[in-house]
Structure 1
């Protein structure tokens, strides 16, 4: 029922309900219900839990449940987001207390079809309609997709082992699948469309290998498990669960470095992190003192550098008439990022910066993102995706140029005192926090596990927030605006950037059409001549 699963004792007496699905309600619905009168509340739709359509109980007393009443858009979001939670997924595993405990460690959450079409004109579109679940040998379990007439089998960790079935009238095909259960190793499927017949499926040799490997793993016979998984890979070299299985066996045997290689092939960052912690622990026990010395040396070096930069900036400020060297213009950036009001004022009025220094900061920002793309640790870049200098140049220089151009166009109309050059210099100097934070974070990303990766992401977020604050105050000081007026101009600048991009795209499309027209005319003339 919508209250959950009915629980009875051995005498058939009602005990209670467990596992009721959580009801989600938006903030708008909460507010609207607060404003409703008692009469309106009586006639408004009630919010109740979605019902389960089938259950299957394991030998250990755990309960697999399925539902097909969750909104399809919610299921799609959960699948695409690789959700570990069962809130919006059609299959759950409940403990005797009714708590959801399913492991979803596979590449995709267990929900049936993953490569589904969203085109309503296709024969099978949308997510799977899961209507039954059955518990198989070695803690495996299978579900049926009523929409596609397919059966999906998973292991206890949520890895897809195999899927089969198709709608049709031929031998082995299904027309209206209704229920599923295991009888030993044999799979029994009730096909209501074929006069209510029961279709019997026996495992193939490949399926036997999978169960044998899982059995060896469950019985802690890791050497046997490795051999079985390797034999599975000989038949299917793209089977991620086999690499994970080998990695798990190697991890249990203490071969952490070998396990890392297996996890990397399967893009399994969670298990990789557990193995890496052991490798890191072993490495740190050998080189702990050296690491401490290096960290202290880096900290002392950074402090000395900032002290030197402060001394240089102070000396230059007391001798304002002297011509600034290129090095002094670069060093002044370290003053600007910590003292934005005085720093940006002197950039414009005391000429403490220059275009050449600004170009250096821009180039360093480009190189920073390039290094981030190629130097991130495995946890943050498990697929080994790389980038190019040109890609980063476009992704950094183009937005910066658009911002400068749009801001200059607007401020010339709204009493802005900064020139195009002033805006460019202030904007480029604002990029300095990016290398200061992202480069160390990228280096550190090679030493973190998945549970620590959020720290690296947080540091990157701080860098972007810092840059945003500097851009805001930089434009405010450059144009001598009030804070409120500058906020309005910044928002208008963002809109103007979008307009400029639209105009450029429109012009490029018109130009391509014109080129195509001229080409066709020339071709037509050539044929006629």
Structure 2
């Protein structure tokens, strides 16, 4: 028994030891899991989760820097990969080497050049160090060895009035030494200062984005009334960066303006066209040597956005969490920059840390392929795109790159397939044009013969069918249906006579239902039978119910509103007459959509005007028929018909508003009942 007792004790000790070891290993195992996801931005499919392009590498907390960092306000990486940090809380600029090791501190000593709460730093090509001395309300320059050079206070200029507070927070300088300064709480743009410290104007100011209500006010109110309105202010500029090609990139936070990131040339023109970046918490932007941009966000979902050289979002990653001191998670990101090794350095103002992210092999492969793609070097990018697809086949741009390579190699069939996989209608159109050209060049005579034979066959078949129909004796019901359908076609080309035929006449319900069902069927068929250029995305993602609602709901509300308005206005039309006339009025949609849909499979983008012409003619035709229907069915003159149609459209809007309100109330009532039911069930 003693032996069994000893065995049990040994087993218990070993079990406890294993549990302790697992407890020690658990944090390490958990740390291997990234604290954030990476998302690829697909222009058609939205955000797709993918493998990381950047992973957290290390944290720099200020140990060994003659004092830990305190509220770092800015970070700048020079050409030699040395890192300069505006250590705001410690009133200094800290320099680190490329490994993150402490080199020296600048501006902390008493005397000329003493800094007070600097929030920005910049290093010129010649090594001159610029500090935005926010607390001292000045710009301070240091020599490459860290010695004080000069200090610029608020410039003397009539544009800078006494109530303009010169509180510089960020600074960059071009090759001429002209300084572009971000001043706190100003909407005037960057303050531009000459190398001698003279004010030369404001640069790159944002424009306020006006809502439809603001535009309406400007159209209706006089100057006095507008003066009493609260001024619409644009987003203030938060940060500025210089690209290697001489562009000035500004970053702005807020929703008051578009162009959260602007790429400005010397004349102030935005190469991104004031585009909306859909990120209203951007605080800084870094640019790598290939022109890709890295935006630092301050929200609870992501912390870093990656943009291609045209400003299109490519990837999102990172995470923000208040009070976090965890590798890869920022608390209050304030600045971002990138070195020659493509490492991202992020300054965290709240946790007093510098987070360093390194690029993964997948990220390197993708970014190299993408760079060669934007440079037009498609052949060199081939192997990189193939590797990207091998690692992740869901990234459309990889197929697009291979498509351009195939197009360059004149492998048009492969290019067509690649462009279709990448949802690129322009590339698909180019490849299809070459395929169509080659086929016509080799089969032109055959194409002409087939076309002529087809026209003759259709004409001959129509005549034979017409003769067959006339000779045969049909039941009365069939003759009635056929006559009503013939009247629907007649009405297309003779609207006044056609609608007069409908007055005081009951069209069969079967024909009305058939025409409506046919319109719906043609719409569905047009979606799935159209060429790729018409719908350049996966049709499995197409919202068919919503598309049908856009077709059916306006027609239904037109019938109801037209009858109600016309009844009030003295119209003679009965509801059935309005219903059947409105049904006949959509026949052009059926007739024109069919050939237009077939044609979409044979035209390229440059010829798409033909399809647009078909569609515009169709909608104009339908509008004219509805207008004539209102005039004839209700026995209005032309002016009354116009007024009635306008009031009908307004009534449709009112119906939709009320339907939206009622839907919201019903949903809230349902939710209220559901909450009560859950509460009662829980209490029970």
Q: What TM-score results when the alignment is normalised by the length of structure 1?
A: 0.69
Is residue 2:337 matched to residue 1:150? no
Name the structure 2 match of 1:101.
Answer: 271
Is residue 2:523 matched to residue 1:369? yes
Q: Per-residue deviation at 1:224?
A: 4.1
Q: Per-residue deviation at 1:434?
A: 0.8
**Equivalent position to 1:187, from 344, 364, 384:** 344
**Equivalent position to 1:199, from 345, 355, 378:** 355
Q: Secondary structure at the match of 2:417?
A: helix
- Listed one character per residue, the Cα deviations across residues 467-516 of structure 1 (whole Å, up to 9, x for unaligned) are 233133224323323445556666469859949x96xx99xx89xx9xx9
Tell whether the 8 Å contact from 1:19 to 1:94 is kept in structure 2 after alignment. Answer: yes
Name the structure 2 match of 1:478.
Answer: 633
Q: Secondary structure at the match of 2:330?
A: coil
Q: Secondary structure at the match of 1:139?
A: coil
Name the structure 1 match of 2:111.
Answer: none
Is residue 2:423 matched to residue 1:267? yes
Q: Per-residue deviation at 1:336?
A: 1.8
Q: Per-residue deviation at 1:380?
A: 2.7
**Equivalent position to 2:236, from 27, 41, 51:** 51
Tell whether the 8 Å contact from 1:403 to 1:494 is kept in structure 2 after alignment. Answer: no
Tell whether the 8 Å contact from 1:378 to 1:384 is kept in structure 2 after alignment. Answer: no
Residues 271 and 164 of structure 1: is their aligned pair in 2 closer, same or farther, counting only changes over 3 Å?
farther
Is residue 2:287 matched to residue 1:135? yes
Tell whether the 8 Å contact from 1:140 to 1:156 is kept in structure 2 after alignment. Answer: yes
Is residue 2:435 matched to residue 1:435? no
| Stretch of structure 1 that moved more, 254-263 or 295-304 | 295-304
Tell whether the 8 Å contact from 2:249 to 2:261 is kept in structure 1 after alignment. Answer: yes
Partners of 1:383 and 1:160 in 2: how far apart? Answer: 18
Q: Secondary structure at the match of 1:446?
A: coil
Is residue 2:567 matched to residue 1:380? no
| Stretch of structure 1 that moved more, 275-284 or 144-153 | 275-284
Tell whether the 8 Å contact from 1:128 to 1:147 is kept in structure 2 after alignment. Answer: no
Residues 47 and 348 of structure 1: is their aligned pair in 2 closer, same or farther, counting only changes over 3 Å?
closer
Is residue 2:230 matched to residue 1:62? no
Partners of 2:412 and 2:261 in 1: how far apart? Answer: 33
Q: Secondary structure at the match of 1:160?
A: strand
Tell whether the 8 Å contact from 1:355 to 1:421 is kept in structure 2 after alignment. Answer: no
Tell whether the 8 Å contact from 1:95 to 1:101 is kept in structure 2 after alignment. Answer: yes
Partners of 1:178 and 1:392 in 2: how far apart? Answer: 44
Name the structure 1 match of 2:500.
Answer: 345
Q: Secondary structure at the match of 1:156?
A: coil
| Stretch of structure 1 that moved more, 423-432 or 12-21 | 12-21
**Equivalent position to 2:383, from 205, 227, 230:** 227
Partners of 2:582 and 2:272 in 1: how far apart? Answer: 50
Partners of 1:395 and 1:456 in 2: how far apart? Answer: 20
Q: Number of residue pairs matched?
A: 461
Q: Per-residue deviation at 1:54?
A: 1.6
Residues 432 and 492 of structure 1: is their aligned pair in 2 closer, same or farther, counting only changes over 3 Å?
closer
- Listed one character per residue, the Cα deviations across residues 105-156 of structure 1 (whole Å, up to 9, x for unaligned) are xxxx883xx7xxxxxxxxxxxx441111111132222110023471222222
- Listed one character per residue, the Cα deviations across residues 195-227 of structure 1 (whole Å, up to 9, x for unaligned) are 3x3332222222222233235446655344222
Residues 301 and 181 of structure 1: is their aligned pair in 2 closer, same or farther, counting only changes over 3 Å?
same
Q: Which has the higher strand share?
A: 2
Q: Per-residue deviation at 1:385?
A: 2.6
Unaligned runs of 5+ in 2: 1-181, 464-477, 678-684
**Equivalent position to 1:257, from 391, 408, 413:** 413
Partners of 2:429 and 2:648 in 1: how far apart? Answer: 45
Partners of 1:494 and 1:8 in 2: how far apart? Answer: 56
Residues 135 and 417 of structure 1: is their aligned pair in 2 closer, same or farther, counting only changes over 3 Å?
closer
Name the structure 1 match of 2:395.
Answer: 239
Partners of 2:564 and 2:276 in 1: how far apart? Answer: 53
Q: Which has the higher helix share?
A: 1
Q: Per-residue deviation at 1:177?
A: 1.4
Tell whether the 8 Å contact from 2:250 to 2:262 is kept in structure 1 after alignment. Answer: yes
Unaligned runs of 5+ in 1: 75-87, 115-126, 308-322, 521-529
Name the structure 1 match of 2:471.
Answer: none
Tell whether the 8 Å contact from 2:305 to 2:313 is kept in structure 1 after alignment. Answer: no
Residues 89 and 207 of structure 1: is their aligned pair in 2 closer, same or farther, counting only changes over 3 Å?
same
Partners of 2:633 and 2:457 in 1: how far apart? Answer: 33
Is residue 2:325 matched to residue 1:169? yes
Residues 11 and 164 of structure 1: is their aligned pair in 2 closer, same or farther, counting only changes over 3 Å?
same
Tell whether the 8 Å contact from 1:332 to 1:353 is kept in structure 2 after alignment. Answer: no
**Equivalent position to 1:36, from 197, 219, 223:** 223
Tell whether the 8 Å contact from 2:585 to 2:622 is kept in structure 1 after alignment. Answer: yes
Q: Secondary structure at the match of 1:372?
A: helix
Name the structure 2 match of 1:120.
Answer: none
* 1:107-118 alignment runs, 5 A limit: 111=277
Name the structure 1 match of 2:118.
Answer: none
Partners of 1:388 and 1:160 in 2: how far apart? Answer: 25
Tell whether the 8 Å contact from 2:254 to 2:280 is kept in structure 1 after alignment. Answer: no
Partners of 2:402 and 2:562 in 1: how far apart? Answer: 57
Q: Per-residue deviation at 1:42?
A: 6.6
Partners of 1:187 and 1:398 in 2: how far apart? Answer: 51
- Listed one character per residue, the Cα deviations across residues 394-432 of structure 1 (whole Å, up to 9, x for unaligned) are 887787677657766776787654455544442332222
Partners of 1:493 and 1:162 in 2: how far apart? Answer: 44
Higher relative contact order (CA 8 A, sep 6+): 2
Tell whether the 8 Å contact from 2:506 to 2:576 is kept in structure 1 after alignment. Answer: no
Q: Secondary structure at the match of 1:54?
A: strand
- Listed one character per residue, the Cα deviations across residues 166-207 of structure 1 (whole Å, up to 9, x for unaligned) are 432113332221111122122222222233x33322222222
Q: Secondary structure at the match of 1:426?
A: helix
